[in-house]
């Protein structure tokens, strides 16, 4: 379904955040017969919906939300509306199409898009692809799940997008280059289960992309690919394996050549090495002569400093290194972070919104390691209980983030690392991940005196 297909139809936009606002503005230009915005949350009256947006689409909330949805010809849901919402199920049972702004945009722009998804690594990999393409003379517009709704993207010849599982779920067109960085259980409550999450994530591959690139080192991802093929019938390209771009003996290699030293990449961790290999594989598949432009690409890799809240180091006069990895929202993400600092004394701060995740994989990962784990509300106590009895793991509870930082200062040896990698979302105690990051930095400053 394209935006132009909404002309003359009754359309309900579900959600009043950035995605919903972008959808209203874009759809209104195509002259639907009716355009209404729906907010079904308990606090819908606190949403400011005035001015031009209200003139384009009146707000239906509370008891009017359901009626507005079921009377529409098409419902355009924001990514924050879960697939498991009872209204979504009812709409589909009634035969009312449910799509998203990302799917509407992709239908018109798939042929000039690189789309990147993954349970971890999608932000770093997509921004790295964009950065490297720019360096080799391929300007592009970068956006997506980073906070720029696709329907707000500027006109460009080439797009590089980070796509969440929620955005991928509604796609009926694959991007020209479809990329998957990793796969592990995430957001199960919003998708309905592990199988459903994998299905929605890998929906990005289902509509004939010109090329599929995946992290060949991710065993679960490889197992879930099934019979996925590109538009020419070729299987996914597995980066990091065989003769594809990979890292060996401290060198980035590809096409049977040594390209540049691994230390050109300032980002820590083997997962970021995989992200680089994926990015180089994508450039190669898009016709960039990577070996021929190795000097330009090496310089671009060296200048890539990564993204905020992902293993961001905060130096401290005490000799400790504090690390903000607040975007770690699963045990697997925390495992990658621990691995990046495994050669230094380490204290890890875990805990946040409790979504009932299984933390036994984290226990298995830490079984042969020595470190301290401090548990934060709300899921922290449950994580500590899961880790109890491991011989090399000291566990300590904390009342809040301030208490955890003060405790970490006391027990972490000089030269060690205090890593905030919560393995859980931020909501509940904090407004969002940025707020949690700000609170962490403030706790570091306050506890330094």
Annotated binding site: 118-124
Q: In whole angstroms, give the CA distance from residue 440 to residue 8.
A: 50
User: In terms of Cα–Cα distance, which of 197, 237, 232 is closest to 214?
Assistant: 237
Q: Is residue 424 within 8 Å of residue 381, measured between CB atoms? A: no
Task: Please give the Cα distance from 430 to 436 (Å, whole number).
Answer: 6
* Straight-line distance from the first to the last Cα atom of the chain, in angstroms, rounded to the nearest whole number: 58
Helix (H, G, I), strand (E, B) or coil at 20: helix
Q: How far apart are CA 290 and CA 212, in angstroms?
A: 18
* Cβ atoms of 418 and 379 closer than 8 Å: no
Tokens of 145: 């799940």
Entry field: residues in the chain: 449
Are 186 and 330 spatial neighbours (Cβ–Cβ below 8 Å)? Answer: yes
For residue 232, give the 3-state DSSP assignment. coil
Distance CA 245, CA 254 (A): 4
The residue behind tokens 């509407």 is 104
Q: Which residues pair with 418 in a beta bridge?
A: 322, 347
Which residues fall in the annotated binding site for ATP? 118-124
Q: Which residues lie closer than 8 Å to 268 by C-beta, 6 or more apart?
A: 311, 340, 341
Q: Per DSSP, what are the bridge partners of residue 321?
A: 315, 417
Count Cα neighbours of 374 within 13 Å in the Cβ-side half-sphere.
Answer: 25
Q: Are 181 and 215 a contacting pair, CB within 8 Å?
A: yes
DSSP 399-436: SSHHHHHHHHHHHSPTT-EEEE--SS--BTTBSSHHHH
Tokens of 9: 């139809």
Other beta carbons within 10 Å of 350: 27
Report how far residue 235's alpha carbon sits from residue 248's, in angstroms, rounded to the nearest whole number.
Answer: 24
């Amino acid at each position: 379904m394209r935006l132009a297909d909404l002309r003359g139809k009754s359309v309900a936009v579900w959600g009043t955040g950035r995605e919903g606002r972008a959808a209203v503005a874009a759809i209104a230009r195509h002259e639907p017969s009716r355009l209404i915005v729906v907010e079904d949350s308990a606090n819908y009256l606190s949403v400011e919906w005035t001015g031009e947006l209200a003139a384009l689409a009146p707000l239906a909330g509370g008891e009017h939300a359901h009626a507005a949805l079921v009377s529409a010809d098409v419902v355009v849901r924001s990514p924050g509306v879960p697939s498991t919402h009872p209204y979504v199920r009812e709409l589909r049972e009634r035969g009312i199409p449910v799509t998203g702004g990302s799917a509407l945009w992709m239908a018109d722009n798939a042929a000039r898009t690189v789309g990147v998804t993954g349970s971890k690594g999608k932000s770093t990999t997509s921004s790295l692809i964009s950065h490297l393409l720019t360096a080799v003379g391929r300007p592009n517009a970068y956006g997506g799940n980073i906070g720029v709704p696709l329907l707000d993207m500027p006109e460009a010849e080439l797009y590089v997008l980070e796509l969440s599982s929620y955005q991928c779920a509604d796609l009926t067109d694959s991007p020209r280059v479809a990329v998957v960085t990793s796969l592990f259980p995430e957001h199960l409550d919003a998708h309905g289960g592990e199988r459903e999450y994998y299905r929605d994530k890998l929906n990005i591959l289902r509509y004939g992309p010109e090329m599929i690139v995946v992290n060949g080192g991710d065993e679960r991802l490889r197992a879930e690919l099934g019979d996925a093929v590109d538009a020419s019938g070729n299987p996914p390209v597995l980066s990091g394996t065989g003769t594809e771009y990979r890292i060996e003996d401290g060198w980035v290699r590809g096409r049977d050549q040594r390209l540049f030293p691994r230390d050109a990449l300032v980002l820590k961790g083997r997962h970021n090495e995989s992200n680089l290999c994926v990015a180089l594989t994508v450039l190669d598949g898009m016709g960039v002569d990577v070996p021929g432009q190795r000097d330009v690409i090496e310089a671009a890799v060296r200048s890539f400093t990564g993204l905020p809240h992902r293993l961001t180091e905060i130096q401290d006069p005490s000799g400790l290194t504090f690390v903000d990895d607040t975007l770690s929202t699963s045990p697997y993400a925390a495992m990658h972070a621990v691995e990046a600092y495994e050669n230094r004394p380490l204290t890890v701060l875990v805990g946040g919104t409790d979504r009932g995740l299984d933390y036994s994989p984290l226990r298995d990962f830490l079984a042969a390691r020595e470190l301290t784990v401090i548990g934060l509300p709300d899921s922290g106590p449950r994580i500590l209980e899961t880790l109890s009895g491991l011989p090399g793991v000291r566990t300590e509870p904390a009342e809040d983030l301030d208490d955890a930082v003060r405790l970490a200062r006391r027990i972490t040896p000089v030269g060690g690392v205090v890593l905030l990698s919560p393995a859980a979302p931020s909501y509940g105690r904090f407004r969002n991940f940025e707020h949690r990051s700000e609170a962490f930095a403030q706790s570091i400053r306050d506890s330094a005196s």
